[in-house]
Amino acid sequence: MGRRLGPLLVLCAALLAATALPAGPATATARDRAGQDPAAARSPRPLDQVIPAPASVRAHGKPYTLTPRTVIRVSGGSGHGARHRVPEDIRRVAGQLADLLRPATGYRLPVTTRPGRDGIHLRLAAERGLGREGYRLQVSERAAVLTAGEAAGLFHGVQTLRQLLPAAIEARTPQPGPWRIAGGTLTDRPRYAYRGAMLDVARHFFPVDAVKRYIDQLALYKINTLHLHLSDDQGWRIAVDSWPRLATHGGSTQVGGGPGGHYTKDDYREIVRYAAARHLTVVPEIDMPGHTNAALASYAELNCDGKAPPLYTGTEVGFSSLCVPLERTYDFVDDVIRELAALTPGPYLHIGGDEAHSTSHDDYVAFMKRVQPVVAEYGKTAIGWHQITAAPRRGTIAQYWGYDRTGAEERAQVAAAARNGTKLVLSPADRSYLDMKYDKDTPLGLSWAGYVSTQRSYDWNPATYLEGVPEEAVLGVEAPLWTETLATSAQLQYMALPRLPGIAELGWSPAATHDWDRYRHRLAQQAPRWDALGLDYYRSPQVPWPR
Ligand code: TNX
């Protein structure tokens, strides 16, 4: 489905853009067709109409209009006046903003350190209450000023600015405009520090470019963490120098028997670099001790019986386990964690730990007790799927992936760990799993946790979701995308959109902004943007899409 729909949508978006090109009445026609009130389309979008919802908004004054003479000013850092040195990461955000605005506007939009009171201004300045990722946007007739204490805040502010402009700003060919931003002041900062999305590149392999496209979608919604599920029964996707067959053999297939693939270390560094430039941290995951058939197939010596199983291309889970009593297992684990930690600038390394159905409970606990210190030894904080709370260790983060049928005992174990200091990332399968079908007719995805409609994925509160968990134990939320049934970027998009923005909003926006009925209207306005970006999405009947 997605394989065909994707290009078709790009074509439709291009045609729409083409018909909208002649100025005047033709523009109005295109907007009428999109089902918008032409008068409303002419007035700029209200400042609160972005996703995630901003923390606070005050409308006042006249809108700011981009013109062919608009400049993008950057300031901050050390020094004074025209001679001050603006840090490289701030200039980069300004460059990203210019790259975003130039194609559709056709304006030059030079980036300058020259002081001035007009234009779009990215200001690095310490301001109370903005934190590491927050920003303030002040819009008047003369200027649109973004202020933040760090580059990440300016980057998130740019995403807001982008969503406040008409969707046509995303087009890569000149569009008619006008390019206006409503007047007022918007002050914004995230509710949670960890706002993640996971991509399973093990069940189906996704090349570097596909991962980059996904990162682009995450950045638009202020997600700051990309968790990569790099190994599973069906494939090992990262080169490890000390155990080369993991990638060359273990990565040589995927679900359904295709050729699979793996990332070289340079590929992985490129993903990390691309993510970092968009203020996302990469969390690599090596799933252990279960979900390890690809590793076991690559090295006979890792198996208790010394025999390598064949590669696996099905979709069963829970049949493989590293050999816990075997010393060689820990050489392997040490080498893999050491090499992966060295490649990873971020603070976290995920060691899986889910569905170890072929590992005895005692072996599981013994394994996790031995492996967590290895992660610490190489300077990283371990994250594990919530079963890891059977072997709690100070500092380790647990990722909750339960659903409505998760047993009370299991929940209680997680809650007890949380009360004892274990931080939690919440990714409840029946809320945040992007691979769950929307309803019975969804052609892709799985349904073991039930159907996850757009409303269901948005309508929950991370702070109160798990009984007995103190609010401050929640580090944040994550939306995993497992790929047993997904093989193309268009298919990833179809499952992620429109649910991903909802999880992003739960992670960013204050609880006070939470309101499904208002949210679904804001969500509907994202569709023309996805069309302009050539992204596939599911037209959920719960959302009042334009046209
Ligand atoms: C459960 S969630 C899994 C994965 C599957 C996923 C499919 C979790 C930690 N394990 O192995 O891919 O369901 O939805």
At 231-273, the pLDDT tens digits run 999 999 999 999 999 999 999 999 999 999 999 999 999 999 9
Alpha carbon distance 209, 215 (integer Å):
10
Protein residues with CB under 6 Å of any ligand 1 atom: 317, 354-355, 385, 401, 433, 435, 446, 482, 484
- State the closest ligand 1 atom to the C-alpha of 352, by its place in the atom list counted from 1: 9
Residue 84 φ then ψ, to 5°:
-70, 150
**Atom nearest to 427 CA in ligand 1:** 2
Domains 56-188 and 191-329+338-514 share a fold: no
What is the model's pLDDT at position 85?
86
- As a whole number, mean pLDDT of residues 40-65 equals 92
**483 C-alpha vs ligand 1 centroid, how far in Å?**
9
Above 60 in pLDDT, residue 399?
yes
Residue 425 to residue 363: CA distance in whole angstroms: 25
Residue 430 scores a pLDDT above 90: yes
What pTM does this model have? 0.92
Spacing, Cα 37 to ligand 1 middle (Å):
44
Q: Is 355 a catalytic residue?
A: yes
The yes-or-no verdict on residue 34 having pLDDT over 60 is no
C-alpha dist (Å) from residue 243 to 125, 301, 304, 339, 345: 47, 12, 18, 10, 22
pLDDT of residue 40: 45
DSSP 473: G
> Domain 56-188 has what CATH class?
alpha beta
Range 40-62 average pLDDT = 91
Domain ranges of the chain: 56-188, 191-329+338-514
Give the residue, by CA position, lying nearest to ligand 1 atom 12.
482
Q: What is the overall mean pLDDT for the chain?
A: 92
Q: Determine the Cα–Cα distance for residues 385 and 402; give it in Å rounded to an integer.
A: 10
pLDDT tens digits for range 96-118? 999 999 999 999 999 999 999 99
Q: Determine the angle formed by the axes of helices 151-164 and 208-220, rounding to 10 degrees.
A: 80
pLDDT in tens, 70-99: 999 999 976 665 556 899 999 999 999 999
Whole-number Å distance, alpha carbon 546 to ligand 1 midpoint, is 34
pLDDT of residue 22: 31
**Residue of 355, 409, 472, 505 marked active site:** 355
DSSP E strand boundaries for 166-325: 180-181, 184-188, 194-200, 225-229, 231-232, 235-236, 281-288
* Ligand 1, atom 8, residue with closest C-alpha: 354
Residue 482 Cα, ligand 1 centroid: separation in angstroms?
Answer: 7
Q: Can you tell me the mean pLDDT for 451-466? A: 98
pLDDT at 29 over 90: no
Indicate whether 349 pLDDT > 80.
yes
CATH architecture assignment, domain 191-329+338-514: Alpha-Beta Barrel (3.20)
What pLDDT, on the 0 to 100 scale, is given for residue 21? Answer: 32
CA 480 to ligand 1: nearest atom: 2
